[in-house]
Structure 1
């Protein structure tokens, strides 16, 4: 069960979902830590690691969007109300958008930085900077933008997690479990 069906997510969607979730949340934590480290050497290493995972995240999100566009999307359970049926796709689009925009804004940030430090994802190759004007003003703008886009992204992730937990523990439907394994039942669970 690699591909999605009308009722289930396949292993590819499930794997990409959890890998991107771990990377996105981990990147947020790493970003908070790296700007608070007193040692410049350690901060530099953490920033390089943050950039490496940022490029990896950007690539995986592009793969995930392509996979989503080329696969069926499981329908929401019948118990889900009309308002949530309209809200869920909008929140998913926002999640995809923020998962793209946050790493892209980081790439823009390093591209406009007056420090002009090369980005070497996992020390494998040099990632070229985007062809943008280098300036203090642009760097300041993108530091602010990258930071607040990340905060907005984490807020959306928290909303997404709370909605999944609501489905699992309160509504007792299959919305969460079908993102864990394609082999869980696809009918609603009975309250205990």
Structure 2
């Protein structure tokens, strides 16, 4: 009887170590970017957020992100510019329709976290660390964070002299428990 009770306790403990799985809610989430164009800040958004997020602050080793956005949804508020950004020289959406981030580890930094992993844009994958915060939202979580990238590292925009190289990305990802 002791053996059965011990086995039940161990199995229960094992299953509670598993991170909760969440799904991004695209229509509530925000993926925003800012880049200088002709010396002026140009803002835009991306939608079509999907993927799987596993998160347990007590077990970061079991936590992970595998999320993507649809580049076809790029919106800078100017239809002509959006169409231009979808062309080969920029995002080449006919061939590379998503931007994807897959984490390799999650770390705690004080009250905040950082997701280390691989960011893929236009078929080019680079290591990235994305700092973020987490807040409870009913049954789900809200992940907020931001990072900077060099668009040239991903072959976006060629050698455009009028467009800045640094892109600031900010994220607010609402999730629901799966």
Normalized against structure 2, the TM-score is what?
A: 0.22
More strand by share: 2
More helix by share: 1
